[in-house]
Amino acid sequence: MDSRRLLNESPSVIGMMTSILQSGGSIDTAIRTIAESGPRNSKKLFEEAVRNTDTKGSDSLTNSLSGIMTDLPKEASGYGRAVMMMISASESADDETKDRMMRDAADMALYSVREMGEYYGASLTVPCMTVFGIGIMIPMILMSIMPMLSIGGMFGSKTLDQGMIVMITLVIVPSFILAVALFIREKNPFLGTDCLKADIRYAFPLILSIPLAIAYLLTGSDQDWLLLFSLAPACIASLVLMIEVMHRENRRSKSELSLMDTVFDLGNRMLSGNNFEKAGIDSMRTRDGLIELSDSLSREFALCRGDIASAISSVIDPVSSEMSMAMQNIMICSEKNNDDAGKLAVTLGKQFQNRNATQKELNLKLKSMTDMMTGTAMFFAPMVLGMSVSMLEPLSGISGFVALQGTSVILETYLIELSLLISILVSSLGNGEGIPKMIWRFCMMCPVSLLVFTICSSISL
């Protein structure tokens, strides 16, 4: 189990435990809930605690979980301390002390994640700059500097084998970049579980490039335009088909963030005397992105015949299962005491806001890195390599070097590989992106990259 990814789950786990404890649930209920529906890595640990207790390997769930937390490696010590503080809070008889300990546990979890994020961001500089340098410099040197080696015979009469040039450009360099991308992905502690699911059906429209390439070859046209003519329309077709999917996912993500912001407002409204249903609907209607969701929830409340939990689940689950669970726990607490439920909502709202602020800081630190890599694949690499091809003919004439046949096609193939590899690399940063977003990014970069290369390589020097 990756200790860093476990540590990244600590704010969610502490939030779940807080909502259950403050809604009147016991620590045993909190442990079993996380074992059933918690984040992936935490779920395994809590399942082990439940299994040890149910098989009489431990006399209580808290003792079993405490033993597991004690055995965690040093890298996950922040996670263990936060969970242990929650266990201690559950055993406190004083409500004020209990609340303070739970707030401290949430702060400790966020601090650990923030510290890990700073270290993670700093560790990306070397591998990303290595990809930036090797991905551009080696192909440029091979294609434009090699003819200079024969000028005046100052480097001898030996030239690099053309087959070796193709091997280095299309196999060795991309393999190195792929290895770096996979290394970064493996070491990323913030990578979500959804990013690991393979979903390649959105790549099927790219198959259209095959018949387009055949049709282009049958016309007998210049092969330098082959990949641009065949792959660019296929990428555009894929983008058109994915527009609705990407729009829906972006809308869901924004709705989830807005829901987290409404929890604090929900608590304030309940403390002002509103019941859970009215406070929930009114707090959601104040945000533009949640108006439709609030209308759906209002209809479900009217039709659920008192089963509020099922109404929340049916409407909120498709947006965020975590927010659905939090709102259900607030609702359960409101059935006992409306003011206590309001305090719970305020506490959870602060936790969600702090977590979002921490994640925003990480995203801002990574933005310069992702922008640099995207700009490399779309503009800088094709521009440099295109100009290298433009210089190849006059340099070859001076040196007597026989230019490599199909140079433009080779470099266009390399740019396609580079666009795909940069898509994988960028999708491996931060919270990560799923396969559909990776395909979307590739289809955005590849046609632009090929177009820039074609324009730059056609310039006559």
34 and 89 share one domain: yes
Residue 410 is encoded by which pair of tokens? 């080779």
The residue type of 416 is: I
Among 309, 337, 353, give the residue marking a domain's end: 353
pLDDT of residue 151: 47
The residue type of 158 is: K
pLDDT of residue 301: 84
406 and 349 share one domain: no
Q: Angle at Cα 127 formed by Cα 368 and Cα 417, nearest 5°?
A: 85
229 and 269 share one domain: no
Tens digits of residue pLDDT in 80-117: 899 999 999 888 888 888 888 888 888 888 888 888 87
174 and 155 share one domain: yes
pLDDT of residue 204: 81
Q: Cα separation of 174 and 168, whole Å?
A: 9
Ranges of the chain whose pLDDT falls below 70: 1, 143-162, 192-200, 220-224, 392-406, 431-432, 460-461
224 and 179 share one domain: yes
The label of the residue with tokens 């177009």 reads 451
Among 121, 145, 165, give the residue marking a domain's end: 121
Q: For the beta carbon of residue 172, count every other beta carbon within 10 angstroms.
A: 13
58 and 105 share one domain: yes
pLDDT of residue 231: 86
The tally of domains found in the chain comes to 3
428 and 387 share one domain: yes
Q: Is 459 left (phi over 0), alpha (psi -120 to 50) or beta?
A: beta
203 and 213 share one domain: yes
Angstrom distances, CA of residue 204 to CA of 234, 259, 275, 413: 9, 35, 50, 19
84 and 182 share one domain: no
444 and 434 share one domain: yes
248 and 261 share one domain: no
Structural domain of residue 300, as residue ranges?
254-353
Q: Cα separation of 366 and 341, whole Å?
A: 37
Among 321, 337, 353, give the residue marking a domain's end: 353
Tens digits of residue pLDDT in 309-363: 888 888 888 888 878 888 888 888 888 788 878 888 888 788 787 777 777 777 7
For the range 164-171, what are the long-range contacts, defined as Cβ-Cβ under 8 Å and sequence gap of 24 or more?
165/404, 166/404, 166/410, 168/138, 168/142, 169/138, 169/139, 169/142, 169/143, 169/410, 169/411, 169/414, 170/410, 170/413, 170/414, 170/417
The label of the residue with tokens 């470099």 reads 411
How far is CA 273 from its chain centroid? Answer: 40
Share of the chain above pLDDT 70, in %: 88
pLDDT of residue 154: 43
208 and 339 share one domain: no
Instruction: Please check whether residue 443 is in contact with residue 239, taking contact to mean a CB–CB distance below 8 angstroms.
Output: yes
pLDDT of residue 222: 65
